[in-house]
Amino acid sequence: MSYVTDIPTASAAEAVAHFRQRLSVETDCADVHASLQQPDVDFVLLHVVGSAETFARRHIPGALHLRHADISAERMNSWPAETLFVVYCAGPHCNGADQAALKLALLGRPVKVMIGGITGWQDEGFAFQSGS
């Protein structure tokens, strides 16, 4: 026995349910990047941390800056109720995306976290944008 095999694996049905659940609330940098190349992007990408100046220096192309602290029912009324939001923050060391996702979910909004955030985007070698 090893640390890997000490705990038995889940059944196939349990594994399917687990991974389907995870994928229902998260996406990754590669999938977001590929989706942003399509003519009709079917989500709104939100950069949810930092100052306007930090956002202007470097952010993911197509993202809007809306800090998680500024997410409110009134602010989100700018989009139809069925709009999917993909939120990201600085990276694995930051929980801003989780905070934003929680706020959006509490408002009844569809949301996914882009795991990896800016750090993951950079690690993938994808380009950044500057300006507001």
Instruction: Give 112's strand partners.
Output: 86
How many CB atoms are closer than 10 A to CB 20?
A: 9
- Band the pLDDT of 96: cuts 50, 70, 90: very high
Each residue of 58-87: pLDDT tens digit? 999 999 999 999 999 999 999 999 999 999
Is 86 within 8 Å of 73 (Cβ atoms)? no
Q: What is the Cβ-side half-sphere exposure of residue 15, based on CA atoms within 13 angstroms?
A: 5
Q: Over range 94-115, report the average pLDDT.
A: 98
Is 104 within 8 Å of 75 (Cβ atoms)? no
Q: Where do we find the tokens 């009324």?
A: 77
State the chain's mean pLDDT as an integer.
Answer: 97
Q: Where do we find the tokens 């996702």?
A: 101
Alpha carbons 60 and 109: distance in angstroms, whole number:
22
Each residue of 1-25: pLDDT tens digit? 899 999 999 999 999 999 999 999 9
Alpha carbons 68 and 96: distance in angstroms, whole number:
7
Alpha carbons 28 and 25: distance in angstroms, whole number:
11
pLDDT(132) > 90:
no
Looking at residue 1, its pLDDT comes to 84
Dig out the tokens for 3 from the structure.
Answer: 């640390």
Q: Is the pTM of this model over 0.85?
A: yes
127 backbone dihedrals φ, ψ, rounded to 5°: -75, 150
pLDDT(49) > 90:
yes
